Amino acid sequence: MPRDAAPPMTSPADDPWAALRRFTPARIGLGRAGDAPPLGAVLDFQLAHARARDAVHAALDRVPLQAALGGLPWLAVRSQAPDRGTYLRRPDLGRRLDPECLPLLPKGEWDAVFVLADGLSATAVQQHAAAVLRATLQRLPGWRVAPVVIATQARVALGDEIGEALGASLCAMLIGERPGLSVADSLGVYLTYAPQRGRRDSERNCISNIHRSGGLAPESAADKLAWLMTEALRLRLTGVELKDEQPPHLEHGAPGVGSRPVLGSGGPSADRPF
């Protein structure tokens, strides 16, 4: 056995990394098999990489997503990116609404519009967006909410043009986050007051890492989002000026949640992950 190779483990009690692995999905203390990682670790990495690629290239299936909305009114739009390849190569086109979709957006005095957007993980939207949306609406009785907008080939800033066209005071975009090698189905929410083209990232609030495999549970995300939306409408602002001061008794949390929501401009940028 090479001098720097990890000694063979005969039981979990012999593994000095076992305690730390309970607190992180990171690949730590993998050991060695000669000059390479163990075969199991290599195969696990390849599987995670394949899942991330599949999430990026997967198309959003509107039929089950619409069914999961439970009868809520909805409409479908698309960005100016004509296909997935163009979407990945031309982020600017993903931020602009296809002109043919503009007449589909009914102008009104809406308090909010929710946009379900594929982003870089249609898988995340497919699995978590409807649950977050329904739970959030239950926490916002009496709000004038526009029809749910399902957007494809969409990036974060597309919500600005959608919200402006609808005349909504708030736009909450639920969008698939860039997959990693530990999570491929992470959902993010971007909240913008008075959405209009040209809004900056610093003018949004972000709740990220929403998923059930160690992230923020949809119900907890709904608690956070409803609170932020209520404060945003009261204060007439979002972004770095809207601080997360949610009372602790409203933060339900969930067993096994390993990370907290990222708020304000410190979250993922519309120009980087999306």
The list of the chain residues with pLDDT below 50 reads 1-7, 9-10, 252-274
Identify the pLDDT of residue 258.
30
Nearest to 55 by CA among 206, 215, 175: 175
At residue 13, the pLDDT reads 62
CATH code for residues 56-266: 3.40.50.11240
**pLDDT for 215:** 86
Q: Is 145 annotated as a binding residue?
A: no
pTM: 0.80
pLDDT value for 96: 97
Q: b/e per residue, 158-181, with b = 16+ CB within 10 A? A: bbbbbbbbbebbbbbbbbbbbbee
Query: What is the predicted pLDDT for the residue at 16?
Result: 79
Known binding residue 171? Answer is no
177 carries a ligand binding annotation: yes
User: What is the domain partition of the chain in residue ranges?
Assistant: 56-266
